[in-house]
Amino acid sequence: MRQRNLKHIKTPKILTNVLSISGISKHYGKIHAVNDLSLEVQPGQVFGILGPNGSGKTTTLSIVLELVRADSGTFQWFGEHPGKESRKRIGSVIESPNFFPYLTAALNLKIVADIKEMDYDDIDRVLKVTGLYERRNTRFRTFSFGMKQRLAVASALLGNPEVLILDEPTNGLDPQGIAHIREIILQVASQGTTIIIASHLLDEVQKVCSHVAVLNKGTKLFDGKVSEVLSVSDCFELSASDPVALEKWLHTHTDIESVEKKNGIFQAFFKARITPADINNGCFRDGITLTHLSERKRSLEQHFLELLEEKNDQTP
């Protein structure tokens, strides 16, 4: 009885994860497409799943959208067991745009609306947002690739879903098309819609995402805020009037990762978040006068490649 009553108590939305994946694995023969993956996506996040081709991004999305069954592990949408009702609250574009080529854009969207059990009022709006309104009565077959991709986005936007899932949304588009899609994503994100984007483009994740999970060979290497990923392992360039003392000071620092010396300038990498002020104060206290101090943030790309390399070193 008690459990039944609990169901009716609405938990505040902010507390429930939009998507939580725990320990899902999927293998095709000997290849581990997804390996013990756990993720949490919270409301309002623009969550990037970043990884090279074949890292398990699409497989992960196919699993949470119930196209593919995981070998093990579970996932929940909106804190509930997944099912067709939760899928109706999600707008998704997976891989290529999938529509009937012999039906018009509007008719294809009507089919989507019927499946999602919503009325057709929103169709004109999403066609306008994606710039396809004038072509609504043209058959899908006649569309250019960019238009097909935009129709896929339009169908995903239908009925203002709580979550938008986009798999490589700008793949194969020209720069203008990429800009258009990104503009739409940012506009939707600004309304508070949770967005999950799978991409192999760092630049894309950097530009639109608030959070990121990095995948390689089906394994999660890292996840967190994009801004944190950017500033973790900061690199500083320093020099001092007494280089020997500075080198000693750097090596004894508790958070130091590595120190390199190039043309009399030290490049110091730190494991934890360190500010230039921390270094300046520390050196000053130990009687070292810095003659040069500059912070160099490593880009996500560098960080990404390093993460991939580290992982590759570990595997024989």
Partner 1 sequence: MIRLLKIEFKKIMTYKVFWILIGLYFLFLILGILMAEFMINSIVNDMNRHLPIPIPHVTIYFFPWIWQNITYFATFRYVLIFPAIIIIILITNEFTYRTIRQNVINGLNKSEILISKLLLIVLISLVITVLLFFGILVLGFSHTANPDAGMIFDKISFIPGFFFTMLTFLIFAFFFGFLIRNTGLSIALFTLYVFIVEPIVYYFLKSPLVFKNGISTYLPVNSILRITEYPAIPVLKQIMGVNLQDSVTAGSCLIALLYAALMVGIVWWIMAKKDL
**CA 159/CA 97 separation, integer angstroms:** 18
Q: Which is nearer to partner 1, 126 or 288 (CB)?
A: 126
Judged by CB under 8 A, the number of residues near partner 1 is 31
Decide if residue 87 touches partner 1 (CB under 8 A): yes
Sequence-ordered strand ranges (E) for the chain? 19-28, 31-41, 46-50, 72-77, 90-93, 163-167, 194-199, 211-216, 219-225, 235-240, 256-262, 265-270, 290-296
Decide if residue 31 touches partner 1 (CB under 8 A): no
Decide if residue 247 touches partner 1 (CB under 8 A): no
Range in contact with partner 1 (rule: CB under 8 A) among 90-98, 194-202, 249-257, 305-313: 90-98
**CA 49/CA 200 separation, integer angstroms:** 8
Decide if residue 29 touches partner 1 (CB under 8 A): no
Q: Which is nearer to partner 1, 143 or 304 (CB)?
A: 143
Q: Which is nearer to partner 1, 41 or 288 (CB)?
A: 41
> DSSP assignment, residue 16?
S
Q: And the tokens for 29?
A: 């023969």
Q: Identity (one letter) of the amino acid at 12?
A: P
Tally of CB atoms within 10 A around 256 = 16
Decide if residue 88 touches partner 1 (CB under 8 A): yes
Decide if residue 85 touches partner 1 (CB under 8 A): yes
Closest approach, Cβ 66 to partner 1, in A, equals: 6
Neighbouring C-alpha atoms within 13 Å toward the C-beta of 23: 2
Location of structure tokens 């800009």: 179
Integer distance in angstroms from the first to the last C-alpha of the chain?
A: 54
Tally of CB atoms within 10 A around 254 = 7
| Site for partner 1, residues 145 to 174, rule: CB under 8 A | 155
Range in contact with partner 1 (rule: CB under 8 A) among 81-89, 168-176, 233-241, 262-270: 81-89
Q: Which of 4, 84, 262, 285 binds partner 1 (CB under 8 A)?
A: 84
Name the packing angle between helices 175-190 and 145-157 (round to 10°). 10
Q: Could you give the string, one character per residue 92-131, with x where binding to partner 1 holds by CB under 8 A and - elsewhere?
A: x-xxx-xxxxxxx--x--xxx-xxxx--------------
Q: Which of 11, 31, 52, 67 binds partner 1 (CB under 8 A)?
A: 67
Closest approach, Cβ 217 to partner 1, in A, equals: 20
Per the CB < 8 A criterion, the answer to whether 208 and 186 are in contact is yes
Closest approach, Cβ 115 to partner 1, in A, equals: 4
Q: Identity (one letter) of the amino acid at 109?
A: L
Q: Which of 4, 7, 30, 69 binds partner 1 (CB under 8 A)?
A: 69
- Degrees to nearest 5, angle at CA 229 with 228 and 231: 65
Decide if residue 77 touches partner 1 (CB under 8 A): no
Dihedral of CA atoms 239, 251, 254, 307 in degrees, nearest 10, equals 90
Q: Which is nearer to partner 1, 114 or 242 (CB)?
A: 114
In the complex, which residues of this chain contact partner 1 (CB under 8 A)? 62, 65-69, 84-85, 87-88, 90, 92, 94-96, 98-104, 107, 110-112, 114-117, 155
